[in-house]
Structure 1
Amino acid sequence: MEGKYFFNNKDITMNLCIQIRDVIDIIKERDHLSFQDAAGAFYHSKTYQALQNTENTLWAESAGYIADRFYEEQEQKEL
């Protein structure tokens, strides 16, 4: 099976999937949401779009850092 995400010609698909799961778990716990609702919120965010751009190396940051970026984005939407 061929990966979907690459960085410097290395398959990082599993790394990215783990990051996505961990960020969704943080959102789920912090906001008391179901996994599906937390995933939906994250998947429709600019943070998720940025995470898929492997060249910016956001995927290499901790799940907590990525979740913080997600919450910053949500705060900007509220302004």
Structure 2
Amino acid sequence: MIKKYSYKEQDITLDIVMKIEKIVRLVSQKTGKTFEEALGEFYDSNNYKALQNTNSVLWAESSEYIVDELRREWKSRRLS
């Protein structure tokens, strides 16, 4: 069962699920990883945690913006 997400008492679950799918597809295309590999890495990211926190309003950003933020996160992890 999918967790329900809401923002200001509005159900945004479908918006978030669709956003996750698009983000993972973009990551998969840009990196050459399978959808499943990209999904696993996304689920392990701080950006995914922020996306789940609907008060952060990251869900309202474009998928491309979130992918850029995700790439910055992964790059900073490698440099640490």
Q: What TM-score bracket applies, with the shorter chain setting the length?
A: over 0.9
Partners of 1:51 and 1:68 lie apart in 2 by: 14
Partners of 1:14 and 1:44 lie apart in 2 by: 21
Query: Kindly, what percent of the aligned residue pairs are identical?
Result: 36
The AA in structure 2 aligned to 1:66 is: I
Number of matched pairs? 78
Partners of 2:78 and 2:37 lie apart in 1 by: 19
Tell me what 2:46 maps to: 46
Tell me what 2:34 maps to: 34
The TM-score, its normalising length taken from structure 1, stands at 0.95
Partners of 2:44 and 2:9 lie apart in 1 by: 27
Runs of 4+ in 1 over 6 A off after TM superposition: none
1:10 shift after superposition: 0.1
Structure 1, unmatched stretches of 5+, are none
Structure 2, unmatched stretches of 5+, are none
CA RMSD of aligned residues (A): 1.3
